[in-house]
Amino acid sequence: MKPVVALIIACLLTLAGCQSLPDKEPVNEQGNGNLPVDGNNGDSNKVLLSSQHCLNEYLREEGRVHYGPCLKIITVNGDAPQIRPDGFIALPVATALTLGTSCVYRHADGSPIPATMETTEFTIAPQTFTRPGIRWYLHAHKQARQVVGCKPTLSRSKSPTQATD
């Protein structure tokens, strides 16, 4: 077999194998990736909230990533959260909750700056989570750069809610 033909066959087999891999996040019948949390263990009336999340923003003009603040949920209604293996916390829908959070800013290399650690509470109203099975993220702030303090912002996206100019 000629080397060119062998290379084409190898590429086609690789492509076929990649196409048969499962999606990163399961997709429901609406195609939006929001399957119920775990229908088999009583979590079907819950949402998923990331237990910790760090903001990053790619600085195109500088060709590098700016490491923004990180937030970690340290309590749910005063108790330590039960973190799932995937890093999310299952929370009930239509329920008022108080989350204790810890925020910390990071150096240019991504390492935390201990002196910037701050804690604050974030209140969730009963009408905040109305549909079960949806993944949420609690950001330390609305943007990754030019911010100070811990001002938690709830979002469906992993990205900052505002880009920095």
- pLDDT, tens digit, 9 for 90 and up, residues 96-137: 999 999 999 888 888 898 988 999 999 999 999 999 999 999
37 in helix, strand or coil? Answer: coil
What distance in Å separates the CA atoms of residue 158 and residue 56, rounded to the nearest whole number?
Answer: 9
Q: How is residue 142 annotated by DSSP?
A: S
**Can you list the pairs that 159-163 forms with residues at least 24 positions away whose Cβ atoms lie under 8 Å?**
159/55, 160/55, 160/57, 160/68, 163/57
**Closest to 95 in 3D by CA, of 46, 52, 136:** 46
**pLDDT confidence band for 162 (50 / 70 / 90):** very low
Supply the pLDDT for residue 5. Answer: 46
pLDDT in tens, 18-75: 443 434 444 333 334 444 444 444 567 999 999 998 888 888 888 888 888 899 999 9
Supply φ then ψ for residue 37, to 5 degrees: -55, -65
Model pTM score: 0.68
Supply the pLDDT for residue 60. Answer: 85
**pLDDT confidence band for 3 (50 / 70 / 90):** low
pLDDT, mean of residues 1-10: 52
